[in-house]
Amino acid sequence: MKSSLLPGSAAGLPYQRLTINPSLSNNRSTVALSIPDQSPMERFSKHHLNVTQLCEQSWCEIKVVYGFLKPHMKRREMRRTAVMTGASIHLARELEANPDAVNVVVHTREDREALKLINLIQMVPALEAGMVVLISHLRFPVLGVLDGVFFLGVVDELYCSKSGELVLSELKTRSHNSLPHPAQAKGHSLQVGVYKLLFDSMVQGSMKRDQLLHYLKLRPHQAFGSELQSYAQKLGLLAVTFGELVDHLLVVLHFCNLQPIDKLCLEYRHQSSGVLIGNREVEFKETQLRAELRDYLAFWRGEREPHGVDIEDIEEAWKCRMCPYEESCEWRRSRLQEVMVEGSKKAK
């Protein structure tokens, strides 16, 4: 038997400890949504977070937990959303921006991360040139520590506007031919805001070699695989180990002329036709964003319980109808019971 913490209790306490029966069928079984003395970072063996994980979290934290506890259902949903979210539109855009893109075979985790850093090293001078003369489209890896947690992300597009502003733009596809509801757009705004925090701190020289190696758990002396070595040589890079590449990247970032991002944009396209629905500019409110970030990270550090969808809020409740865990969701079931009890009390 395991224990589970769920919201609400008849005694009016903030959380109720439940006993669960693991012998129930997979769909209906209850699972521990949180474990005392073990943070989600520890429980799910996370050394760093992807920015997109924060966006998922802003949708529903219980869903994030289920994603780890029921990975087969998460994989099924990811396959479905890869089709629905217009992966082909992203790919077409990428090929349009980088017609000479090549595939490089990677053999180790160090190879895979090195490839991202090589892309970054290549893009810095291109972006510097773009700042002066033209609009350029690039996918740009961003990484660094925010509030004690290491983050990784990949920016869809960075370019210089005609007026010389450095613009970060994220492409989103929609099944409906309309701009998203605020509840849907919340994660998108969070995503571009966190990208800006990471990018700005990178170009301001905040990235540290030891942090990068420590949080990503990478071996600095690991030599690249032969394919990656040839690719790096063709680009004129002398590095043959991950540590050497990190050193090179830090020098590039230290001496680059890139400025912080001026403008954050979201571009919405219709997923089946690819037609532009509209653009939205996101206001960057750093103090508010950092406060939100601290609250999201409090969940990962185990400083508070995960929060699910507020099923009484009409602006939020619809999320559960789209959720693959709806049938088995302990949070939702518990909240529904509470609402029913409250409703029957009022009726008396």
Q: Is 325 in the site for ligand SF4 (CB under 6 A)?
A: yes
Among 115, 228, 309, 334, contact with ligand SF4 (rule: CB under 6 A)? 309
299 binds ligand SF4 (CB under 6 A): no
The rounded distance, in Å, linking the Cα atoms of 194 and 200 is 10
Q: Using the rule CB under 6 A, which residue among 33, 121, 331, 334 binds ligand SF4? A: 331
56-75 residues near ligand SF4, rule: CB under 6 A: 60, 62-63, 66
| Piece in contact with ligand SF4 (CB under 6 A), picked from 128-136, 157-165, 207-215, 328-336 | 328-336
In the complex with ligand SF4, which residue's Cβ is closer, 66 or 159?
66
Instruction: Please tell me whether residue 32 binds ligand SF4 under the rule CB under 6 A.
Output: no
Comparison of 7 and 130: residue with beta carbon closer to ligand SF4: 7
The least CB distance from residue 330 to ligand SF4, in Å, is: 8
What's the token pair of residue 323?
Answer: 């959720």
Taking the least distance from each CB to ligand SF4, the nearer of 249 and 309 is: 309
Return the range that interacts with ligand SF4 (CB under 6 A); candidates 55-63, 248-256, 262-270, 296-304: 55-63
Cα pseudo-dihedral 283, 125, 211, 40, rounded to 10: 40
Query: Which residue in 253, 264, 308, 334 binds ligand SF4 (CB under 6 A)?
Result: 308
Task: Give the residue with the Cβ less far from ligand SF4, 66 or 296.
Answer: 66
Closer residue to ligand SF4 (CB): 93 or 332: 332
Among 54, 153, 319, 334, binds ligand SF4 (CB under 6 A): 319
- Per-residue HEC secondary structure of the chain comes to CEEEEEECCCCCCCEEEEEECCCCCCCCCCCCCCECCECHHHHCCCCCEEHHHHHHHHHCHHHHHHHHHCHHHHHHHHHHHHHHCCHHHHHHHHHHHCCCCCCCCCCCHHHHHHHHHHHHHHHHHHHHHHHHCCCCCCCEEEEEEECCEEEEEEECEEEECCCCCEEEEEEEEECCCCCCCHHHHHHHHHHHHHHHHHHHHHHCCCCCHHHHHHHHCCCCCCECCHHHHHHHHHCCCCCCEHHHHHHHHHHHHHHCCCCCCCEEEEEEEECCCCCEEEEEEECCCHHHHHHHHHHHHHHHCCCCCCCCCCCCCCCCCHHHHCCCCHHHCHHHHHHHHHHHHHHHHHHC
- Binding test (CB under 6 A) with ligand SF4, winner from 326, 339, 340, 341: 326
Closest contact distance (angstroms) between CB of 319 and ligand SF4 is: 5
Binding-residue total with ligand SF4 (CB under 6 A): 14
Query: Of 60 and 127, which has the nearer Cβ to ligand SF4?
Result: 60
Residue ranges in contact with ligand SF4 by CB under 6 A:
60, 62-63, 66, 308-309, 319-320, 323, 325-326, 329, 331-332
